Structure 1
């Protein structure tokens, strides 16, 4: 479904991604783990066109997206839940959800998407007239995921969905990610909670200072001594 080939992305003169190559197959959950500053968020931003790569190729369902605008990339079927949620604090929950469907013209489909968001996250239905900025961190994360799903993506990019959340909420969020995937949405997950990410994903990549250093089935990475020591806090 998605393939990155030899991606080089820069911030000014800073070489953030140094030849990243990876793939995501239809129906998978693929995780990208690594330390702060490794380039995980930059990888997602390169896919979604926010920070386009200077070199390399991003292809999605056989089409080259490397030079496409973010709007066109969303229209092709990729949406991103950004790190820190980035909901619209002065819009209501319902208005935030509808912003996720701004490219869709099918009113019935938008209504069905809103209904699905409320089924996945019942608390959003209860708070649909409440301003987004008044929600708790966990509720804002649910809203950010629900908003992304309103675009009916084939591929959902999730950037640090557990960031700053209580352990119980984190477990709930990860169960919902598994449910979203089981219902047919492919997921690429960037997550510092490597244990949780590897437990729910099919395959994983380890990124270090802009370079993929390890890849493989998630169970294999969970057992890898280097991963266990560096990212899982285990001997």
Structure 2
């Protein structure tokens, strides 16, 4: 489904990605794990065409993504839920969710999806008319993920969905990620919580200073001594 080949990205003289290659197959959850500064978020931002690479290629369903404007990716079935709970604070919860459906014409299905998000996150239903900026951090993360689900994407890029959340909320977020995948959404997950990421994903790539140093099924990656020492304790 998604193929990244020999991707190189720099911030001025700093090489953030040094020719990485990986793929995400339809129906998978694939996770990128690594320390801060490893290049995980840079990878997602480049796939979303928010950053321009210096080399390499990115294809989605055999189409070159590097020639597609960032605002056009959602029409092709890609949604990016960025790090930092980026929601529209002056808009209500429901307005935030409805924004993700701007390219859809199926009004009945949109309403069904809205109710599904409210079923997944009941607290949002009670706050549907509340401004996004008044929500707690955990509620904003639920809203960001719910908005991603409203797009009915083929591929969801998730950047640090559990960052800064209490353990119970982390469990809720990962439960929803699992369910979205079970219902047909392919997911590329960037996550510092390696325990949860390796538990939920099918395959993993380990990034270190812009290089992929390890890849494989999560059951194997989780047993690697270097991964255990660096990320699992």
Q: Same fold (TM over 0.5)?
A: yes
Deviations 1:84-142 (A, max 9, x none): 11111111000111111222233233223222211221211111001111112111111
- What are the equivalent positions in structure 2 for 1:74-89 lying under 5 Å apart? 74-89=74-89
Number of positions where the alignment pairs a residue of Structure 1 with one of Structure 2: 233
Which consecutive residues of structure 1, in runs of 5 or more, have no partner in the other structure? none
Indicate the RMSD between aligned Cα atoms, in angstroms: 1.1
Moved more, 173-182 or 98-107: 98-107
Which consecutive residues of structure 2, in runs of 5 or more, have no partner in the other structure? none
2:33 is aligned to 33
Distance in 1 (alpha carbons) for counterparts of 2:15 and 2:68: 21
TM-score for the superposition, normalised by structure 2: 0.97
Shift of 1:25: 0.6
TM-score for the superposition, normalised by structure 1: 0.96
Shift of 1:26: 0.6
1:56 is aligned to 56
Distance in 2 (alpha carbons) for counterparts of 1:113 and 1:87: 19
Shift of 1:65: 0.7
1:96 is aligned to 96
Deviations 1:45-66 (A, max 9, x none): 0111111322111111111112
Distance in 1 (alpha carbons) for counterparts of 2:135 and 2:34: 29
2:136 is aligned to 136
8 Å Cα contact 1:52/1:67 also seen in 2: no
Distance in 2 (alpha carbons) for counterparts of 1:126 and 1:48: 32
Shift of 1:71: 1.4
Distance in 2 (alpha carbons) for counterparts of 1:113 and 1:168: 24
2:42 is aligned to 42
Q: Secondary structure at the match of 2:232?
A: coil
Structure 1 runs (4+) deviating above 4 angstroms are none
1:22 is aligned to 22
Shift of 1:13: 3.1
Q: Secondary structure at the match of 2:222?
A: helix
